[in-house]
Amino acid sequence: MIDQINRTVTLKTTPKRIISLVPSQTELLVDLGLEDFLVGVTKFCIHPKHLKKNKVIVGGTKNIKINTIKELKPDIILCNKEENTKEIVEECEKIATTHVSDIFTLNDTKKLIKQYGTIFNRKNEALNILNKLNFEIRSFNNFIKEKDYKKVAYFIWRKPWMVAGNNNFINHLLSLNKFSNIYINKERYPEIDITKIQQEGNPDLILLSSEPYPFKEQHVFEIQEHVQQSKIIFVDGEMFSWYGSRLLKAFNYFKQLHNRI
């Protein structure tokens, strides 16, 4: 089959020894009933919570323990274009069949869930997740249709200040929430000048993500020096950036977020 960066992935049998280098994909595998087949995960694979106690940690998403991966003798290694580097993918390809996802939209996520259902012989489980996800999306679309658009800036890092720009999954979910990203004219995750945020678009809302940077109350004061009327809100970064089965929880979270606003 063809993965999401147009690489041909060849498998003779259903993989039984899986290594996942992507936290959101690890959670999806567990929800597909594949926990017993996972032999290696990253230190950031925190859902479900017990997983890291029972599986071999093969490093992070950007730095892997290549010898540990080799020793685990995987049948397949699961990567993501954004989470993992090209060099990691190339090293993994030398060890086992490697599948690479590339997620920008909900449709990309749905295609990945369906493909995992095929790869791991979990088509019924994948269909069940997709049906639930489609229900959540329809319910949220009905909820959000009467809401007004709000201008937002979604912060992911400090020193340097960085935000979500265009061409990523976060921006896609922002748009579904009728959050107009004031940095949509910038690609990916740009560094920005915090002193010019009002000139950039004077957002109604500033969203401080819980990951990858752990924003705290003191950072609110740092930002408030440069904005006058923007409301600053802490948000759950997993809900805006994790795909796969995490999305089954995300849309209810988005409803609660709008009610808070």
Question: pLDDT 10s per residue in the chain (261 long)?
Answer: 999 999 999 999 999 999 999 999 999 999 999 999 999 999 999 999 999 999 999 999 999 999 999 999 999 999 999 999 999 999 999 999 999 999 999 999 999 999 999 999 999 999 999 999 999 999 999 999 999 999 999 999 999 999 999 999 999 999 999 999 999 999 999 999 999 998 888 999 999 999 999 999 999 999 998 988 899 999 999 999 999 999 999 999 999 999 999
Supply the pLDDT for residue 125: 98
Q: Amino acid identity of 54? A: N
Query: Which residues does 54 contact at the CB level (< 8 Å), separation at least 6?
Result: none
Give the residue carrying structure tokens 């201008």.
151
Q: Amino acid identity of 214? A: P
Q: Which domains does the chain have, with CATH numbers?
A: 18-137 (3.40.50.1980), 147-260 (3.40.50.1980)
Closest CA to 144 of 111, 117, 177: 177
Cα–Cα distance list, 146 to 62, 140, 157, 252 (Å): 41, 11, 32, 16
Supply the pLDDT for residue 201: 87
Supply the pLDDT for residue 152: 98
> Which three-class secondary structure string do you get for 149-213?
CEEEEEEEECCCCEECCECCHHHHHHHHCCEEECCCCCECCCECCHHHHHHHCCCCEEEEECCCC
Supply the pLDDT for residue 228: 80
Task: Specify the pTM.
Answer: 0.95
Give the residue carrying structure tokens 């996802």.
101
How many alpha carbons fall within 13 Å on the CB side of residue 7?
18
